Structure 1
């Protein structure tokens, strides 16, 4: 019986290096650790969750698939369930970017002893990238994946120094061209539509706040248009 992953989870799993020891933080049903072991990508995994019920679901799945000796389940918040050096890869997916930043900030001993972080923020992606760059991470990869009608952003980071040529890359990622062109174009088009709507909604308003907001949206729209042109080069 093969573990079936959604496109989002499958993309996350595909970014794990072979032979990695992995911790999946906020594991929910434990599908990613199961997939990694079943496909011999990892030999050991930790499935961690702050809530008891999802962890019990993960434990049940682990028994069903027969990996009780190779996947450990741990109940607790953030990286508090880990010991320094016991894994080389940490996955944190399905949480907000600010929460992911807080989780990393609160466990510096674990962060320093871990090689790779695979992060999939549901929102505040720009804020997460800014946190990573400011706190000594190098973003090695920005991956997009479309599931149903939503495009998700996945960030792979390691300790190091990130070169920031333009501020817009905090918004669109530092490795946008590593994605299929149609998906990258759709991703940028969606962002342009957000700022276009802001401009249309406040067009004609004369307050200082409205003018400032319009100017911000106008500038971002133009920057994203430049990104779109750059993608096609």
Structure 2
């Protein structure tokens, strides 16, 4: 089985010999790949929809892994009990949805050794939630797949006091900067372009709300340029 670059990067962040849960598993590609590589002991594959879970069942059966897999229909990490798994993957969902899934079963979220999160939208909302709800961000990665850059956040709950950080670091993860991620400059430049395009659409428009938005965008662009020039 050949994984896409995004899924392969997520799989590479799972520690050897662990029990994992793949939430929103779809076809179950990541756990099936990891089991075939003998990298993990066991996997729980969860999905809220019957169709994707049936796809995962077929993939598991095709690879003769039924004795190492448990398939569960249900919402997010509510399908899990405490200490059933060591690491949890939640990938391919929006940042706000991931926040809600973590809140929905805090006993599991708070006792898991590691969470590997890959938001498709609103990663800044996810980072803000993690910083303000006792989680420690252990690592972050960027991965390019086709024409898009994806963010992966590795974290765990440590009961930390809520942290207030410069808002720019909700958008550009501190670990990406610390690690000097190879794709970091491309990522920042893309963020600058997006904000400049929004700013351009405001040209010729007036009003206090427009001026406030323009000021916010200019401030963000300046902060992004500062990161780029460090």
TM-score (normalised: structure 1): 0.93
Superposition map of 1:149-160 within 5 A: 149-160=147-158
Q: For 1:175, what is the secondary structure of its paired residue?
A: helix
Deviation at 1:179, TM superposition (A): 5.1
- Unmatched tracts of structure 1, length 5 or more: none
For residue 136 of structure 1, the aligned residue among 134, 137, 154 is: 134
Q: Is the 8 A contact 2:110 2:156 kept in 1?
A: no
Q: In structure 2, how many angstroms separate the alpha carbons of the residues matched to 1:174 and 1:39?
A: 32
Please tell me the root mean square deviation across aligned C-alpha atoms, in Å.
Answer: 1.4
For residue 41 of structure 2, the aligned residue among 18, 40, 43 is: 43
Q: Is the 8 A contact 1:203 1:214 kept in 2?
A: no
Q: Is the 8 A contact 2:111 2:157 kept in 1?
A: no
Residues 179/50 of structure 1: CA separation in 2 closer, same or farther (3 Å cut): farther
**Aligned residue for 1:222?**
222
Q: In structure 2, how many angstroms separate the alpha carbons of the residues matched to 1:72 and 1:201?
A: 50
Q: For 1:37, what is the secondary structure of its paired residue?
A: helix
Superposition map of 1:57-206 within 5 A: 57-160=55-158, 161=160, 166-177=166-177, 178=179, 180-181=181-182, 183-206=183-206
Q: For 2:118, what is the secondary structure of its paired residue?
A: strand
Deviation at 1:166, TM superposition (A): 2.8
Deviation at 1:34, TM superposition (A): 0.6
Q: How many residues are paired up? A: 227
Offset from partner CA, 1:186-227 (integer Å, 9 cap, x none):
110110011111222213433111111110000000000011
Residues 173/180 of structure 1: CA separation in 2 closer, same or farther (3 Å cut): closer
Q: For 1:223, what is the secondary structure of its paired residue?
A: helix
Q: In structure 1, how many angstroms separate the alpha carbons of the residues matched to 2:180 and 2:71?
A: 33
Q: For 1:217, what is the secondary structure of its paired residue?
A: helix
Offset from partner CA, 1:101-142 (integer Å, 9 cap, x none):
000001011112211000001101000111111110001111
Higher mean displacement: 202-211 or 11-20:
202-211
Residues 179/26 of structure 1: CA separation in 2 closer, same or farther (3 Å cut): farther
**Aligned residue for 1:17?**
15
Q: In structure 2, how many angstroms separate the alpha carbons of the residues matched to 1:73 and 1:167?
A: 39
Q: In structure 2, how many angstroms separate the alpha carbons of the residues matched to 1:29 and 1:217?
A: 40
Runs of 4 or more, structure 1, over 4 Å off, are 162-165
